[in-house]
């Protein structure tokens, strides 16, 4: 029998690499090994379509602070997807809710079983969905560097699926195993069996969409994982803590990807002394803004309504905390606290306006998390506007109003401009092409998506990165084709 794992280093002698001593539970091991072929079949049928021999990928080998990844060329179907939990803190206690100060749970309390299972299923459903959304992008990659980053994101989303499937198998019995199977049966955009959350059924047909998705939608994932990391259910907390390390790379891909699109647009604008760069092989700033508007607004919906009794109950029970819970300067129970949330109000004449209303802080936790996200998103916009400023361009990108293009929550029943002005449905139908990508915009962007698979070369619509991966140069052979 292998030596007992120290909780940090992955055991790569196992069929399923893990640091959870899977060999000590033969029943669980057999169940996961029976799920593994189904996962690989899903990867082959719904994963990346571009055939490759191998890709320069990062693989987790250690979850500790001294290093947790190694790099090398790996054939993607042979990538060592595994199960990794952050090291256990034996003194950890519940940080919030009615169980605050009690030892965290190593097993699922019976009274919270259904709620925890639902939270894990929803998180797990997003992971394969993004792989499905991005499966055809390899065929139009602007460089080998970008192609490699796409595949790194894909394999890690696959590993995040494994993380949730492990929890379902290990802690939720037959129902958990059935839910794990369903995670492979739903597909992004399917009419019969779509993914649970709307943003994960949208198309990702081009690389501008991919960069916006990894900036805005993966950033939502960061905040959702951050709330689950606070959970009193310790295996879920430790799983999410490690997932956040990998998620950081996905957001880096989005942030720097949009950086480079904006940079190239600025270069073409200056070179030709014109704002109209659509016919010059670049993406016009108004089109970039439209894509930003779409992906940001769709991602805002992922946080749910402004108020939620379910989320209040999750918090009180200790299932799901707040972002950076330990940095909050309150009692971490919120029983008597209040928060202002976005709302529609109606005057005596029946005129609607956008305002705020006060609710219990517990009920307003979705708003609290969304505001953390919005503040974070502003950071990217500042970066991109700095590129515009440094390039001598007067235009600026900006986040649209929180009421713009919303399908969930207080603003789902109204239409608003990016500036926050309420408008009629007729005016929205007439003008939405000013604010969201039109078919003409999408066709133009797709027309630029010609693959560049030669070492050291890059498509004309995007600037090269400032540095390569893991100290390698931009012109490194990141991908070997089949």
Reported as a single tens digit per residue, the pLDDT across 275-313 is 999 999 999 999 999 999 999 999 999 999 999 999 999
- The 10s digit of each residue's pLDDT in 4-56 is 444 567 777 789 999 999 999 999 999 999 999 999 999 999 999 999 999 99
- Yes or no: say if 125 and 197 are a contact pair by the CB < 8 Å rule: yes
- Yes or no: say if 262 and 182 are a contact pair by the CB < 8 Å rule: no
Residue 247 phi, psi dihedral angles, 5° rounding: -60, -30
State residue 4's pLDDT score.
44
Tell me how far apart the alpha carbons of residues 105 and 7 are, in angstroms, rounded to a whole number.
Answer: 17
Tell me how far apart the alpha carbons of residues 209 and 137 are, in angstroms, rounded to a whole number.
Answer: 10
State residue 9's pLDDT score.
72
- Given a cut of 70, the residues of the chain with pLDDT beneath it are 1-8, 64-68
State residue 1's pLDDT score.
33
* Closest CA relative to residue 232, chosen from 120, 363, 92: 92
* Residues of the chain above pLDDT 70, percent: 97
- Yes or no: say if 44 and 23 are a contact pair by the CB < 8 Å rule: no
Sequence-separated (6 or more) residues with CB below 8 Å from residue 130: 153, 157, 188, 200, 204, 213, 217, 218
Tell me how far apart the alpha carbons of residues 32 and 28 are, in angstroms, rounded to a whole number.
Answer: 6
State residue 194's pLDDT score.
97
Tell me how far apart the alpha carbons of residues 309 and 28 are, in angstroms, rounded to a whole number.
Answer: 35
Count the Cβ atoms, other than its own, within 10 Å of residue 424. 10
State residue 7's pLDDT score.
57
Tell me how far apart the alpha carbons of residues 387 and 373 are, in angstroms, rounded to a whole number.
Answer: 22
- The 10s digit of each residue's pLDDT in 400-446 is 999 999 999 999 999 999 999 999 999 999 999 999 999 999 999 99
| DSSP reduced 3-state for 276 | coil
Tell me how far apart the alpha carbons of residues 199 and 222 are, in angstroms, rounded to a whole number.
Answer: 15
Query: And the tokens for 481?
Result: 């084709």
State residue 65's pLDDT score.
57
Running DSSP on this structure, what letter comes out for residue 62? Answer: B
Calculate the average pLDDT of the chain.
Answer: 95
* Closest CA relative to residue 355, chosen from 420, 427, 424, 425: 420
| DSSP reduced 3-state for 73 | strand
State residue 132's pLDDT score.
98
């Amino acid at each position: 029998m292998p030596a007992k794992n120290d909780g940090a280093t992955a055991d790569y002698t196992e069929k399923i690499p893990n640091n959870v001593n899977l060999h000590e539970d033969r029943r669980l091991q057999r169940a996961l090994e029976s799920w593994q072929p189904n996962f690989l079949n899903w990867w082959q049928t719904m994963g990346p379509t571009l055939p490759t021999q191998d890709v320069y990928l990062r693989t987790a080998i250690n979850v500790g602070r001294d290093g947790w990844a190694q790099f090398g060329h790996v054939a993607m179907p042979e990538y060592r997807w595994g199960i990794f939990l952050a090291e256990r803190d034996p003194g950890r206690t519940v940080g919030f809710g009615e169980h605050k100060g009690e030892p965290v749970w190593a097993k699922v309390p019976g009274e919270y079983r259904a709620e925890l299972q639902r939270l894990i299923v929803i998180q797990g459903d997003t992971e394969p969905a993004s792989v499905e959304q991005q499966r055809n992008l390899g065929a139009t990659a602007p460089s080998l560097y970008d192609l490699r980053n796409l595949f790194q994101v894909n394999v890690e989303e696959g590993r995040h699926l494994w993380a949730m499937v492990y929890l379902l198998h290990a802690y939720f019995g037959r129902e958990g195993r059935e839910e794990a199977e369903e995670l492979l049966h739903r597909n992004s955009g399917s009419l019969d069996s779509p993914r649970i959350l709307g943003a994960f059924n949208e198309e990702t047909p081009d690389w501008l969409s991919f960069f916006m998705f990894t900036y805005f939608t993966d950033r939502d994932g960061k905040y959702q994982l951050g709330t689950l990391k606070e959970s009193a259910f310790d295996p879920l907390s430790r799983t999410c803590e490690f997932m956040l390390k990998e998620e950081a790379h996905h957001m880096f891909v989005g942030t720097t990807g949009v950086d480079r699109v904006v940079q190239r647009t600025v270069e073409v604008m200056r070179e030709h002394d014109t704002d109209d760069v659509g016919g010059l092989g670049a993406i016009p700033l108004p089109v970039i803004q439209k894509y930003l508007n779409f992906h940001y607004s769709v991602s805002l919906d992922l946080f749910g309504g402004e108020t939620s009794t379910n989320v209040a109950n999750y918090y009180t029970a200790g299932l799901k905390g707040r972002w950076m819970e330990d940095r909050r300067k309150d009692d971490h129970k919120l029983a008597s606290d209040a928060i202002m949330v976005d709302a529609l109000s109606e005057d005596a004449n029946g005129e609607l306006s956008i305002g705020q209303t006060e609710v219990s802080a517990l009920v307003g936790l979705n708003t609290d998390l969304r505001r953390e996200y919005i503040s974070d998103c502003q950071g990217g916009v500042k970066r991109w506007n700095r590129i515009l400023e440094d390039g001598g361009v007067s235009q600026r990108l900006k986040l649209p109003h929180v009421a713009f293009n919303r399908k969930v929550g207080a603003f789902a029943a109204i239409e608003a401009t990016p500036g926050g002005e309420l408008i009629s449905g007729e005016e929205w139908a007439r003008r939405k092409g000013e604010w969201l990508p039109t078919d003409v915009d999408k066709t133009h962007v797709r027309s630029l998506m010609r693959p560049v698979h030669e070492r050291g070369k890059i498509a004309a619509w995007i600037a090269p990165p400032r540095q390569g991966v893991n100290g390698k140069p931009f012109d490194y052979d990141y991908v070997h084709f089949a």
